[in-house]
Amino acid sequence: MTDITGVLAKADSNLDASLERLFDLVRIPSISTDPAYKDACRKAAAWLVADLESLGFQASVRDTPGHPMVVAHHEGASADAPHVLFYGHYDVQPVDPLSLWDTDPFTPSVRELSPGRKVITGRGTSDDKGQLMTFVEACRAYKETHGSLPCRVTILFEGEEESGSPSLKPFLTANAKELTADYALVCDTGMWDGDTPAISAGLRGLVGEEIVVTAADRDLHSGQFGGAAANPIHILARILAGLHDDTGRVTLDGFYDGVEETPTQIKAAWETLGQTAEKMLGEIGLAIPAGEQGRSVLELTWARPTAEVNGITGGYTGEGFKTVIAARASAKISFRLVGQQDPDAIRTAFRDYVRARIPADCSVEFHEHGGSPAIQLPYDSSLLNTAKSSLSEEWPKPAVIIGMGGSIPIVGDFQKMLGMESLLVGFGLSDDRIHSPNEKYDLKSFHKGIRSWVRILDALAAAR
C-alpha cells in the first residue's frame, strides 16, 4: 500500500484550483435534451479531454449519433495493478423555470448556506459534474505526488444520461473490449447524511407497462346506456385494485420468484440509521405506511418489489360535468424489481392477469415502456468491504451499506454487457436540488469526495 499522506495533503492544497476547474466545467451549459445546446455538449466533452490529457491520460472525444462520449486510459503503477472503469456524465438537466434560480445556473460560486456550511452553486454541481470531478481530482493529486496512478484507469464520461442514454448501449457493444475492466466505479449517487458516506449495494429493476381498455365503439350517454354497457373505467379500476391483496403483497402469479429476504445483519444495520415511517412519511405530509405489512420503510424502498399505478385516464376530465361512459380507459403501471426477478416474466404475468379480467366483448392493448433487472452486489463482496473501510477512514461516521429504490440502467449494462460488478459511491445529499432550480453541491462533499477516491484507489491496488 502506498503512503497516501502526501496524496491527501496534495488534494487539500489543490482545493482552490480544483474548484476553479469545476467552475470552468459548470459554466458550459451542456443540456443534452435540448438540441440548441448541441455545441455546448461537445465543448464540455472537449474540455474534459483536455483536462485528462493534462494528467497524462490518453483521452479522446468519441462521436455517437447523439452527444459524444469521452474515453480515457491511464496505466497503473505496476503491470498487475487492478483495472477500474470510472463512469460519470457531463450533461445536465434544463434549468427551467429560470425565474426560480437565486443566481445564474451557469455562473457557479461558493456561498455559505448556513453557519459553517459552504456549498457550490450551479446546474450540474451535484448531478454529475461535481461528482465526476472528485475522481479526476483524486487522480490529479496522486499523479502530482507519485507520478503514477495506483490502478489502471479507464474513464467513460457520457453526454446523454439526462436524456435517456440512447447512444450508450450501442457504444458499449462496439467498444466492449476497450471498456471492460475488473470492475466499474460509478459516482452518481448520494450519502446517507452529511457525515455518513454510503455505498449502494442494490438497485431495483424496472418494468413499465401501459394498458388501454376499450369497450364500446364510441363514448356513450350514461342515462341511455348506463347499467347495460361495459364501462372500461370500471374494468380498469377492478384490475388495478386487484394488483395487491389486503396485506400489501402483489398478486401476480410468480411475482415473488427470485425475491430473497434481506440478511438479518443488514436489516439490523439499517435500523441503526434511525429512519422511521413517521419521519420519512411526515416529510411528505403522510403518516400511515403502505406496502407490505411488517416491513420497515427502508426495506420497502430498498429491498422489496413493488407495483405502482403512475397514471389513469378515461372519460371526461375537463371543467364541469359530462354524463358519459367512456369508450376507452388507460393506465400506466410500473414494477420495481429486486433480486433475481425476471422483467420478461413479470411483464408476461401482468398481461396474463389483465387479459383474464377483460370481458369477452371488450379488448385491451399493451404498450411496453422499458424493462431492466435489479442489480445486487453480494453484501460480503470484497470490493464493497474494501470501499467501506476506505470511506470510514475519511468521514466522521462509518460508511453504511444501503439500497436504492430507483434504477441506474448503466449499472445493469456494465454487468450484463461487460461482465463487471459496479461500486456505487457518491457524495450527493438529499437537499442538493438536482433537476430543480438552485442546484448545489456541498463543498465538504467535493473536498472529502476527492480524498475518498484517493483512499479507495489506494485500497483497491493494495487488495490485488
Residue keyed to cell 468521514: 395
What is the per-residue pLDDT across 254-282, written as a single tens digit (0 to 9) for each? 999 999 999 999 999 999 999 999 999 99
Residues 6+ apart with CB under 8 A from 349: 252, 253, 254, 255
Query: In terms of DSSP bridges, do strands 83-89 and 152-158 run parallel, antiparallel, or are they unpaired?
Result: parallel
Whether the bond into 458 is cis, omega within 30 of 0: no
Handedness of CA 210, 214, 217, 219 (dihedral sign): negative
Residue keyed to cell 479526476: 136
Which helix (H) or strand (E) segment is 157 a member of? strand 152-158
pTM: 0.86
Distances (CA, A) of 109 to 8, 16, 23, 103: 24, 12, 8, 9
Say what the pLDDT of residue 408 is: 80
Which helix (H) or strand (E) segment is 72 a member of? strand 69-74
Domain boundaries, the chain: 5-203+376-463, 205-259+305-372
* Under 8 Å between Cβ of 40 and 46: no
pLDDT averaged over 10-residue windows placed end to end, the chain, 464 residues:
89 98 98 98 98 98 98 95 97 97 98 96 98 98 97 98 93 98 95 96 92 97 96 98 97 97 92 93 92 94 96 95 97 96 97 98 95 86 94 97 84 91 94 96 98 98 88
Which helix (H) or strand (E) segment is 390 a member of? helix 382-394
- Measured distance CA(154)–CA(158) in Å, rounded: 13
Q: Which fold has domain 5-203+376-463?
A: Aminopeptidase (3.40.630)
Are the folds of 5-203+376-463 and 205-259+305-372 the same? no
- Measured distance CA(420)–CA(161) in Å, rounded: 20
- Measured distance CA(191)–CA(27) in Å, rounded: 25
Closest CA to 25 of 160, 128, 117: 128
3-class SS of residue 436: coil
Closest CA to 156 of 31, 38, 77, 49: 49
> Can you list the positions of beta strands (E) in 373-426?
375-376, 400-404, 422-426
What is the per-residue pLDDT across 18-44, written as a single tens digit (0 to 9) for each? 999 999 999 999 999 999 999 999 999
- Measured distance CA(216)–CA(338) in Å, rounded: 39
3-class SS of residue 141: helix
Cβ count near 313 (within 10 Å): 14
* Under 8 Å between Cβ of 205 and 343: yes
- Measured distance CA(101)–CA(60) in Å, rounded: 34
Q: Which residues of 202-240 are buried (b: 16+ CB within 10 A; e: fewer)?
A: bbbbbbbbbbbbbbbeeebebeeeeeebbbbbebbeebb
* One-character DSSP codes across 20-46: HHHHHHHTS--BTT-GGGHHHHHHHHH
CATH number of this structure's domain 205-259+305-372, picked from the four choices 3.30.200.20, 3.30.70.360, 3.20.20.60, 3.40.50.720? 3.30.70.360
Residues 6+ apart with CB under 8 A from 400: 192, 196, 197, 198, 199, 269, 273
C-alpha cell at 198: 454510503
Q: Rounded to 5 degrees, what are φ and ψ at 400?
A: -120, 150
Q: Which residues of 70-109 are buried (b: 16+ CB within 10 A; e: fewer)?
A: bbbbbbbbeeebbbbbbbbbbbbbbbeeeeebeeebbebe
